[in-house]
Chains A and B, each alone.
Chain A
Amino acid sequence: MTDLREKSVAPVVPEKVGRKRRIPPAVAILLGAALILILTYTLPPFRNYQLATVGAYFTVTAGLTVLTGLNGQLSLGHGALMATGAYTFALTQNRWLSMPLSVLAAIVVTTLAGVVIGLAAARLRGPYLAGLTLAVAVVVPSVTSTFDTTFNSDMGLSIALDPPPGTIPMERWQAWLCWAGALVTAFLLATLTRGRFGRDIRAVRDDETAARLAGVHVARTQVLAFVVSAACAGLAGALFAVLAQSVSPGAFPLTLSLFLVMAIVIGGLGRLVGALLGALLLVLLPALAQTAGERSGSQHLEGNLALVIFGVVLVVVMLAAPGGLASIRFTLRRK
Chain B
Amino acid sequence: MKRTTASLLAVLLLAGACDSSGGGSSSSDVPGVTDTEITVGTHMPLTGPAAAGYSKIAPATKAYFDFVNAAGGINGRKITYKVKDDGYNPATTQQVVRELVLQDKVFAILNGLGTPTHSGVLDFLKTNKVPDLFVASGSRSWNQPDKYPGTFGFNPDYTVEGKILGTHVKDTYTGKKICFLGQDDDFGKDSLAGIEKVVGAVAAKQTYVTSNPNVGPQMGALKAAACEVVVLATVPGFTALSIGTAAKIGFKPQFVVSNVGSDPATVGKALGQAAPLLEGVVSANYLPLNTDDSSPWIQLFKKVNDQYNAGAEFDNNIVYGMSVGYLFVQSLQAAGKDLTRDGIIAAVQKNGFQGPGLVPLRFSDKDHSGYGGQQLTKVEGGKAVFIGQAYTTDDGDGAVQPYTGQAVTPPQNGIPTA
Contact = CB atoms under 8 A, between A and B. Distances in A.
A141 B12 CA distance: 35
Given A23-B2, A277-B5, A46 B212 contact: no
A124 to B, nearest CB: 27
A269 to B, nearest CB: 16
B10 A35 contact: yes
B17 interface: yes
Interface string B1-14: 11111110110111
Contacts of A252: 91
A155 B3 contact: no
Interface in A36-63: 39, 42-47, 49-51, 54
A251 B48 CA distance: 14
The residue in A42, A246, A251 that gathers the most chain B C-beta atoms within 10 A of its C-beta is A246
B90 A246 contact: yes
Given A28-B3, A153-B185, A155-B116, A47 B90 contact: no
A299 interface: yes
A191 interface: no
Contacts of B47: 300, 302-304
A156 interface: yes
A280 B94 CA distance: 19
B98 A155 contact: no
Contact of A244 (B13, B87, B94, B103): B94
Interface string A129-170: 000000000000110010010001111101000000000001
The residue in B46, B58, B83 that gathers the most chain A C-beta atoms within 10 A of its C-beta is B46
B20 A250 contact: no
A236 interface: no
A304 B91 CA distance: 16
A335 interface: no
Contacts of A326: 5
Interface size class of B (residues with CB under 8 A): 35 or more
Interface size class of A (residues with CB under 8 A): 35 or more
Given A153-B184, A154-B185, A246-B90, A300 B120 contact: no
Given A158-B120, A273-B5, A141 B209 contact: yes
Interface string A296-323: 0001101110000000000000000000
A251 B184 CA distance: 17
Contact of A171 (B12, B84, B89, B102): B102
Contact of A46 (B1, B7, B48, B99): B99
A194 interface: no
Contacts, number: 146
The residue in A141, A153, A251, A273 that gathers the most chain B C-beta atoms within 10 A of its C-beta is A153
Contacts of A22: 1
A68 interface: no
Given A28-B2, A250-B90, A245 B124 contact: yes
Contacts of B211: 141, 145, 154, 249-250
A49 B16 CA distance: 13
B164 to A, nearest CB: 24
Contacts of A54: 9
Contacts of A51: 13
A254 to B, nearest CB: 11
Given A47-B16, A303-B87, A153 B209 contact: yes
A299 B184 contact: no
Interface in A1-51: 21-23, 28, 31-32, 35, 39, 42-47, 49-51
B91 A250 contact: yes
A156 B116 CA distance: 8
Contacts of B102: 44-46, 49, 171
Contacts of A243: 94
A284 interface: yes
A280 B11 CA distance: 12
Nearest to B94: A244
Interface of B: 1-7, 9-10, 12-14, 16-17, 20-21, 46-48, 55, 58-59, 83-85, 87, 89-92, 94, 98-99, 102-103, 115-116, 119-120, 123-124, 127, 184-186, 207, 209-212
29 contacts: A22-B1, A23-B2, A31-B2, A31-B6, A32-B2, A42-B14, A44-B20, A44-B102, A46-B98, A47-B16, A148-B184, A155-B186, A156-B91, A248-B89, A248-B91, A248-B120, A250-B211, A251-B90, A251-B94, A252-B91, A272-B2, A273-B1, A276-B5, A299-B46, A299-B59, A299-B85, A302-B84, A302-B85, A326-B5
